[in-house]
Structures are given as C-alpha cells and as structure tokens.
Structure 1
Amino acid sequence: MALVMTSSAGFCGSSQAVQEGSLRLSGSGRLSMSKTNSIPSARACFTVRALQQSPAETETSRRSMLGLLAAGFASTSFVETVLADTKIPILPERPVKIAGIPGSLREAAMSKRLIRAATEIAKTITPRIEIEYVDIENLPLINTDLVKNHKYPAEVEAFMNKLRSVDGILFASPEYNYSVTGPLKNAIDWASMEKDVLQDKTAAIVSTGWDLGGARSQYHLRQIGIRPDIYFINSPEVFINEYPPIFDSDGNLTDDDVKKQLKELLASLSKFTVRLRPCNTYPWPPRPLPIEQPSGVLD
C-alpha cells in the first residue's frame, strides 16, 4: 500500500486552492481521492509526496505519481516532485553485447578483418563492450518456402537467436555496385522475418569501398534498417578505402588512424546503447505489446 500526498494551486486571478488528499492504490492501479480541505493560495505549485511501504508496489506507485504530475502540467501548474522512500531498482552493470556482422563471404575479406580488429579494440572501451563475430555465410538464400509450420531452417534459427541475445550490431559493409552486398541484405531479410530479432537494437557501421570508402552502401544500409526498427548511431561515420592496405599479411590492423576511428565508433555505440538500455530493461513502465505488422519480407 502506498500513501500519496498532493497539493496544487492555480495562478493568481484564477480560482486558487491548496488540496491535500490521500490516494489508496490498489493492485489494479485504480485511484480514489478524497479532498480534505482547501485554502486560498497565491503561489502556483504542485507537490507529490509518496511513502512506499512495499517494494512490490513500486510500479503502481510510480504510475500513479506520474499521472498526478501530468494533471499538474495540464492545469498549467509548476510541478515539484518529492519521492520519499521510493525505491528505484538498481540493475547490476553488465557489458554491452554486440554482434559483429561482416558483409562479405571471402575468407580474407576486409569486412571480416575489421570485425576481428574491432573485437580487440572493444576491450579498451568504457562502458564495457563485448563483440562476438557472427558469420552469415551458412544462411540460405531467403525463401519463404523454407519456413515450415512457422519453423525456420536451423541456420536461420541460430542466427535469429544470436541477434536476440545481444544489445546491438556492428556492421562491416563493403560496397557492391553502390549498395550493400547480397549476403548482408539476405541476412537482414531473414532476421526481419520476426519482429523481436532486430527491433530496438542499436547499430554502427564501418563501410569499405574504392572511392568513397563505401559511403553509398552505408547510407543504403541505414535506409534498410528503418523497417526492422534498428537504431543507428549518427556519429562518427567511418568510411575506409580499400587502398592503401591497412592490414598486414597476417590480417592484423596496422593503420593507427583506422584504429582510432574504430575506437571512437565503438565508444559511441557503447554509450548510445547504455542510454537506451533502461527502456528495454526496467520492469516499469511496461512496454506496450507491438502492433502486429507483416514482416518486411512479403512474398
């Protein structure tokens, strides 16, 4: 059970009053309020005080107080909140988990090497970020005939589950004919078949190409990510030209400028993901059920 005390007053020239009331909060979140007195007041204010008696009622109390605050704003009142003894759950710190997806299938591809280099650079980033390399070469070409009784091919199921388990994605996108590669588009199309696989994931891109460092593929990839609800960071933008070479014969990244750019990119992705994480993690307020929409792949 939670006790909430409120007081409010309108501006000078209007009907002015201070109201003190008690609200009894039921498990269903319904409110009942009894006005105990009203006295003239020339100061506009709206105060909410809460005494939380049970940790289990944190959600109900918080919803109720937010409702009261909204009422204060609607009445053009100044709002001040005092949350006394209300416990907000503190979540244990955990690393930001990122899936590193290369856009090329070639073993010595620059995109694969960049993901592996980013995996090492990520160990120096704060907030902590962990990158897991995710290969896409075993995914079949998308074909809805392969989906039997709402079950996907084993390789697709494994890919989807891997993306479900991470906070975000690092794409290494080579530019093929002014766009993303076929394998990368195929992977995104499979993942978008289920809304919860990519929805609300953060993402960053490092693109590679001949003249503009793959810029055209990067911007196309951002457009592709709109339908699945992927949240790309806006900066920094990292474009890497194929020449001069930035890897040695063993596949190690040797270019200090590219290392610096990757570190800045990962730091930005980590911070952005941490900023969005409470929206997906805290038990309150409950996230509304997503509106059922057809997949981005219609056949």
Structure 2
Amino acid sequence: MAPGSGIKILGISGSLRKASLNTGLLRSAEKAIPEGVEFTIADISGLPMLNQDLEGKGPNGVIEFPEVVEAWRKQVAGADAILFSSPEYNYGLTAALKNAIDWASRPPNAWDDKPAAIVGAGGGVKAYQSNRVLRLSGIFLNLHFINKPETQFAIRDPGLFDWSTGDLLTEEGNQRVADTVTALVAWTKRLQQ
C-alpha cells in the first residue's frame, strides 16, 4: 500500500475570485499530493450566509440544514485533513471563509479533531494575521494545525504569480507548498495512529 493511502485532504480557499491566488496555491498543492492521497478543492461560493432561520428541527431535535449546507458539512466531515488557503482582508479572514467555517461548526462540529495546515497569499504582511485568526478559531473547532512550515506569500513579489490564472509560477514557491503538503500528510498519519 502506498504511503498515505486512504487519506482524504480537503483544500479550502478563502477567496471566491475566479483567478484567485489562494486557489492557485491549492492547485499547486494538488500537484504535490503523494500517491494514495485523495485531494479535493472545495467550492464554498454557493453557501448562504449563516442564518439560523435557515435551519430546521428534525426528529429528536436534530438540526436540519439547507441542502447546500448539508452537502458542505458532509464534505468537511468526510475529510481526514484540511488545507486552508487564506488571503487576508483587514487583518482577518474573508467573509466567505468565515461563513464556511461557521456553517460546518454548527452541531455536530464537522471540524472536530481534524489535522490542518494553512497556506496563504496576501498583501504587505502576507497573510500572517489571517493565519493567526484561523488558528484561534481552530482552538474552538478542535482543529490540530501543523506549526511548520509557515507558507505565506507576498502577492506583490514580481513574477511569483500569474495574475490571469492565479497560478504560482516559481519552483521555490511550489516547493514551499509541497513541503506543507508533506508535513500535513505526515501529521495526519501520526494523529491517525
């Protein structure tokens, strides 16, 4: 059996833009996925804004969610590990990413006990502040983030990204993302033991 067999990683971009640099980082990660590991890039663009008025009560008081939300929650619950790619808006998370996190955290918490990693592309301070905010949310969500490597990119670095597609262009940049994937797979296997 190949190393990492059976591991399912869900990649989540906090940016909805068609040529998103952060979604480009997930495509870079996809190229680095080892044999035997399944990698899926989620689409969070169709989620409604969190509003408990959209929830219903099923048998035994179990919360019922809108169909698109239920599909999202099942996708998160079915993953063995999470790779976030988060831009930084006003020192924090994007509304889209926070919304996706919050929907999946409604009882029962779909994030519970999952290993996770963060990559990101942002402005002057890269995406370190959004990384910090995401890690703080992870405490409540019971996510287990890797600490190293820290894989953040400054979007203004010339020649780093193709702005028409969002793709990461440099060998060094792609290697940094690959190192994060390697660390996440190893961390996932360790926690599964």
Structure 1-normalised TM-score?
A: 0.59
Per the TM alignment, residue 245 of structure 1 is displaced from its structure 2 partner at its CA by 4.2
Residue ranges of structure 1 left out of the alignment (5+ in a row): 1-91, 279-299
In the alignment, which residue of structure 1 is the partner of 2:183?
A: 268
2:171 corresponds in structure 1 to 256
- Map of 1:131 onto structure 2: 39
Distance 1:233 1:101 in 2: 16
Match of 2:26 among 106, 112, 115: 115
Q: Is the 8 A contact 1:142 1:186 kept in 2?
A: yes
Match of 1:170 among 76, 83, 95: 83
Q: Distance in 2 between matches of 1:206 and 1:245?
A: 18
Task: Go from structure 1 to structure 2 and tell me whether the alpha carbon gap of 1:93 and 1:133 turns closer, same or farther (over 3 Å shift).
Answer: closer
CA–CA distance in structure 2, aligned partners of residues 181 and 227 of structure 1: 18
Tell me, yes or no, if the aligned pair for 1:212 and 1:239 is still in contact at 8 Å: no
- For 2:19, give the aligned amino acid: A
Separation of aligned partners in 1, 2:4 and 2:18? 36
Task: Give per-residue Cα distances to partners, 1:35-92, cap 9 Å, x unaligned.
Answer: xxxxxxxxxxxxxxxxxxxxxxxxxxxxxxxxxxxxxxxxxxxxxxxxxxxxxxxxx9
For residue 236 of structure 1, the aligned residue among 146, 149, 164 is: 149
Kindly state the Cα deviation for residue 210 of structure 1 after the two structures are TM-superposed: 1.0
**What is the TM-score normalised by the length of structure 2?**
0.89
- 1:146 matches 2:54: yes
Once residues 89 and 4 of structure 2 are traced to their aligned partners in structure 1, the CA distance between those partners, rounded to angstroms, is: 40
* Equivalences, count: 184
CA contact (8 A) 1:207 1:239 kept: yes
Larger relative contact order (C-alpha < 8 A, sep ≥ 6)?
Answer: 2
Quick one: distance in 2 between partners of 1:245 and 1:160? 37
Question: Percent identity, aligned pairs only?
Answer: 39
* Structure 2 unmatched runs, 5+: 58-62
- Compare CA radii of gyration and give the structure with the larger one: 1
- Pairing 1:104–2:15 present: yes
1:196/1:178 CA distance change after superposition, 3 Å:
closer
Render the CA deviation track for 1:240-290: whole Å, top value 9, x for unaligned.
111224233454431111111111101000000001113xxxxxxxxxxxx
User: Map of 1:268-287 to 2, 5 A cutoff?
Assistant: 268-278=183-193
Q: Distance in 2 between matches of 1:196 and 1:220?
A: 19
What's the offset of the Cα at 1:111? Answer: 1.1
